[in-house]
Amino acid sequence: MNKTNKFLSSVEAHQKSKTKEKFKGTLKDYLEILEINSDAAALAHKRLYDILINYGITRMDEANSRCYKLFGANNIKTYNYFQESFFGMERSISKIMRFLHSASMKGEESRQVLLLLGPVGAGKSALVEHIKKALESTDDFYHIEKCPIREEPLHLIPRKLRAEFEEVYNIKIEGDLCPVCRHRLLEEYDGDYTKIPIVTSTFSIRGRRGVGVVPPMDPNTQDTSVLIGSEDISKMDLYPEDDPRVLSLNGAFNVGNRGIVEFVEVFKNEIEFLHTMITATQEKSVPSPGKQAMIYFDGVIISHCNEAEWNKFKSEHTNEAILDRIVRVNVPYCLEYSEEVKIYKKLLGTSDFDYHIAPHTLEIASMFAVLTRLKPTNKVDALTKMKIYNGAEIIEKGIIKKIDIKDLREEVREEGMTGISTRFIMKAIDNALADSDKNMITPISIRDSLIKQVKEQIVNEEDRKKYLLYLQSTLHEEYLKILEKEITKAFVSAYEEQAESLFNNYLDHAEAYVNATTVKDRITNEEMDADEVFLSSIEEQIGIKGTAKDNFRADITSYMFAKLRRQETIDWRSYGPLREAIENKLVASVKDISRIVTKSKSRDNKQQKKHGEMVKTLIKNYGYNENSAEEVIKFAANNLWRDS
Ligand SMILES: Nc1ncnc2c1ncn2[C@@H]1O[C@H](COP(=O)(O)OP(=O)(O)O)[C@@H](O)[C@H]1O
Ligand SMILES: [Mg+2]
C-alpha cells in the first residue's frame, strides 16, 4: 500500500505539472518575448548548439595526460553533455560541435548536411540519438498554432515590415508562411496576421515534433512522401484542387522542421531522395506535395553511413553536387582500451543480469578489440602501439622510449575504421556468461569465447590468423604478466609499503653513489657507502648492467630532484623504469612461494594457510570473488612459473 501511495503522489505531481499553463498569445505577445530573449527565435542550428553547450564545457588541461595524446595540444574543450556516455570519441564529438558552432553563426555549414561516417557499432546511431534527446530536454519553442510544420511565428511579418523589424530587434527573419498557414490567415483571420494564435510545443522524438527520421528504404517502395508528406486522398473531394487543406505535411522534413532530420544509412536511399535532402540544405526549402509552392525548412540534417556505402557513392561522379554539400566527420572505433572498457561497463550496466566480472576481463576484451583496429607500423609492435595509444610510457632497458603518439597517428590515415566492433565483443561476453556455470566471466573465459567467435565468424583468412594470434599468444602473455603482478601483490603483505621503502632506499643509495657521498641508514643512523649489491639487485630487474647503471642512477637522481624542486610529490610510481624494477623485484621475491602455493597438489598446512590468505586478499582488495580467484590461481599455476 505504501509503495502505491508514494507512486500515486508522483502521478499527481506529474499531472499537475502537465496542466501547467501553456503559453497562448498573439504576435504582440511574441514580440514582447523576443524583446527580452531574442534566442526564442533562434534557428535550428543555433538552438541545438546552445542546448548542447549549456551542459557545460570542460577544458582538458595539461594535467590530463589524455589531452596531449588526443589532440596534440593543451587546453582542449570537451563537451559535458557527451562525457557520461561516450568514450574515446572526443575528437569526433569536437568536430561535430565545430560544425554546429559555425552553422549556428549562419556560416556555410548551416547549409550543409552533417555526415557521420564510420564502421558498424562505432556509436553513430547512439550519438545521433543522444543529440536528439538533448532537444527533448529543452524549453518549449514558439510556433503558429495548428501549423503542421510548427513554423516560426515571425513568418507572419510581411515583407514590407521586415527591414524595420530586423533593425529594431536585431533578428533576421528567414522564410515565409507555409501554404497551410497562409490559407488560414486569409480564410479564418481575414489576412490579419496579428490575430493568429501563437503557441508553444516541446520537441519529442516519439511524438514526431521537431525530430524527423528517415530510415533506409527498399528502393522499390521508396516514395518522397516519406520526406515531404502527401496529399490526403480522402480530403480531395472536400476541397478544391490546390487547396492546402488536402495536404498531409507529415514527412520527415515537415516533422523535423525547427529541430533535426536524421537520415539513417543515408546512401542506401535513391538518388532522388538525396536531391530533396540537398535542396533542403542548400535552399532551405522542400517541395510541397501537389502543386503548392516550396515550403521553407529550418533544421539540422544529420546523416550516417558506413565506409563501403560512402566509397560506392563517392565513386560515382554524378554525385559530385551532393558531395559538395556534405560535411563529413569520421566516427572511428575507440582506440584507447581503457576508454573501450568504459563502453562495455556502460552497455553491461543496462542489462539486469546478476553476475560477476573478474578483474581485467573487460580490459583483455578491449585490448583485443583495439588490437584488431590498429594499422601496423614499423616503429613498434602492435601491442606496444596499443599501449602507447592508451597513454603508456614504453620502457626498454631502463629508458623511457621516445615514441611520440603523434608520429604514430600521422603515419596512418583513417585508423579505427576497420576491425572488431563493440557488438562482436558484447556477443562474446554474453556467450561466455551463458557458458559459465558459476555465473561469472573471467579473462580466461572471455578469451576462450573470443577465440571461438573469431573461428566462427571471421571469414577473411588473413584477419582470422592475425586475430587468433592476438588472442592465443599476444594477449595470453600480456594477461599472464598482469596476473603475476596481481598475485604478487596479494602475496606480499603491505605491498605498497614495501614498494615505497625499496624506492626510498634506492634513491638514497643512488644519490650517494652519484655524488660520491655516504648514506645515513634510516634505522641505525650509521653513515655508510652506497650499497652496490642492493642497487644492482634492483637494476638487474630491468636488465641494466655494467656501465649503463651510471647513467640510470644519474637520470633518476636528477629526475626526482627536479620534481622535488617543483614541489611535486614523488613516490615509487613516479619514474616508469624504476617502478617496473621495483615491481619485478617484489614479484621475484615471492616467486618460489607463489609457485608452490598456487599448485593445489603440493600444499602443506602452512602453505594452505598462506593460500587462504592470498585468496582473501584477492577478494578483499582486488575485486575477485571466491570462484574467480580460484580460477585465476589455477590458471597461474598451470601457466606461470613453469620454467623456474
Ligand atoms: N565510443 C563509444 N562510447 C560509448 N558507447 C559506444 C561507443 N561506441 C559504441 N558504443 C555503443 O555501442 C553500441 C552500438 O553502437 P551504434 O550506435 O549502434 O553504432 P553504429 O550506429 O555506428 O553502427 C551502442 O549502444 C553505443 O552506445
Ligand atoms: Mg547505426
Q: Name the pLDDT band for 644 (thresholds 50, 70, 90).
A: very low
| C-alpha pair distances (Å), 537 with each of 52, 197, 234, 506, 591 | 56, 86, 91, 10, 15
Mean pLDDT of 517-521: 85
In this predicted structure, the answer to whether residue 208 has a pLDDT above a threshold of 60 is yes
Position 405 scores a pLDDT of: 81
Contact 113, 329 (CB under 8 A): no
pLDDT average, residue stretch 629-644: 82
Q: If we measure between CA atoms, which residue out of 41, 36, 35 comes closest to residue 172?
A: 41
163 has a pLDDT exceeding 80: yes
Nearest C-alpha to atom 26 of ligand 1 is from which residue?
123
d(CA 575, CA 564): 13
76 lines ligand 1 (CB under 6 A): no
Q: Are 429 and 348 in contact (CB under 8 A)?
A: yes
> How far is the C-alpha of 608 from the C-alpha of 364, rounded, in Å?
30
Spatial distance between the Cα atoms of 274 and 493, rounded to a whole number of angstroms: 67
Per-residue pLDDT of 344-395, as tens digits, reads 999 998 666 688 999 999 999 999 999 999 999 998 999 999 999 998 877 7
* Pocket lining: 125 vs ligand 1, CB cutoff 6 Å: yes
DSSP secondary structure, 398-432, as one string: TEEE---HHHHHHHSSSTTSSS--HHHHHHHHHHH
Task: Look at residue 527 and tell me whether its pLDDT is greater than 80.
Answer: yes
Tens-place pLDDT, residues 287-301: 998 877 899 999 999
Q: Which amino acid residue places its CA nearest to atom 20 of ligand 1? A: 121
Establish whether residue 624 lines the binding site of ligand 1, counting it when its CB lies within 6 angstroms of any ligand atom.
no
pLDDT in the model for residue 45: 97
Q: Does the beta carbon of 419 lie inside 6 Å of ligand 1?
A: no
**Cβ 259 under 6 angstroms from ligand 1:** no
Backbone angles phi, psi at 260, to 5 degrees: -130, 140
C-alpha cell at 633: 590461481
Give yes or no for residue 126 CB within 6 A of ligand 1: yes
Distance from chain centroid for Cα 443: 23
In this prediction, residue 604 carries a pLDDT of: 79
Q: Best substitution site from 343, 348, 418, 420 to test ligand 1's pocket, by max atoms within 8 Å of Cβ?
A: 343
Rounded distance from Cα 330 to ligand 2 centre (Å): 14
- At which residue does the C-alpha cell 527498399 appear? 218
Find the DSSP H helices in 316-381.
Answer: 320-323, 337-349, 361-373
Nearest ligand, CA 420: 1
* Ligand lying nearest the CA atom of residue 342: 1
Mean pLDDT of the 601-608 span: 78
Asked whether residue 233 carries a pLDDT value surpassing 60, the answer given is yes
Q: What is the per-residue pLDDT across 408-461, written as a single tens digit (0 to 9) for each?
A: 888 888 899 999 999 999 999 999 999 999 999 999 999 999 999 999 999 999
Residue 633 has pLDDT above 50, yes or no: yes
Kindly report which listed range (42-46, 262-266, 318-322) carries the lowest average pLDDT score.
318-322
Cell numbers for 330? 569520421
Check whether 407 has a pLDDT greater than 80: yes
Q: Over 85-151, what HEC string results?
A: CCCCCHHHHHHHHHHHHHHHCCCHHHHCEEEEECCCCCCHHHHHHHHHHHHHCCCCEEEECCCCCCC
Lowest-confidence segment of 12-26, 83-97, 157-171, 233-247 by average pLDDT: 12-26
Q: What does the pLDDT average to over 543-562?
A: 89
Mutate to test the pocket of ligand 1, among 131, 422, 426 (most ligand atoms within 8 A of CB): 422
CA of 210 to the centre of ligand 1 (A): 24
Report the relative pairing of strands 527-528 and 399-401 from DSSP bridges: unpaired
The response to whether residue 422 sits with its C-beta less than 6 Å from ligand 1 reads yes
Per-residue pLDDT, 489: 85
Backbone angles phi, psi at 2, to 5 degrees: -60, -45
CA dist 632 → 112, 441, 445, 501, 530 (Å): 54, 11, 10, 29, 41
**How high is the mean pLDDT of the chain?**
90
Number of the ligand closest to the Cα of 347:
1
Residue whose C-alpha is closest to residue 249's, from 270, 263, 264, 235: 235
86 within ligand 1 shell (Cβ under 6 A): yes
Q: Quickly tell me which residue has 519529442 as its cell.
A: 204
- The partner residues of 231 in beta bridges, in order of sequence, read 247
Q: Are the C-beta atoms of 423 and 121 separated by less than 8 Å? A: yes
The mean pLDDT value for 165-179 works out to 94
Question: Side chain identity at 181, as an amino acid letter?
Answer: C
Cβ-contact 252, 213 below 8 angstroms = yes
Does pLDDT of 403 surpass 60? yes
* Average pLDDT of span 556-570: 89
Share of the chain above pLDDT 90, in %: 59
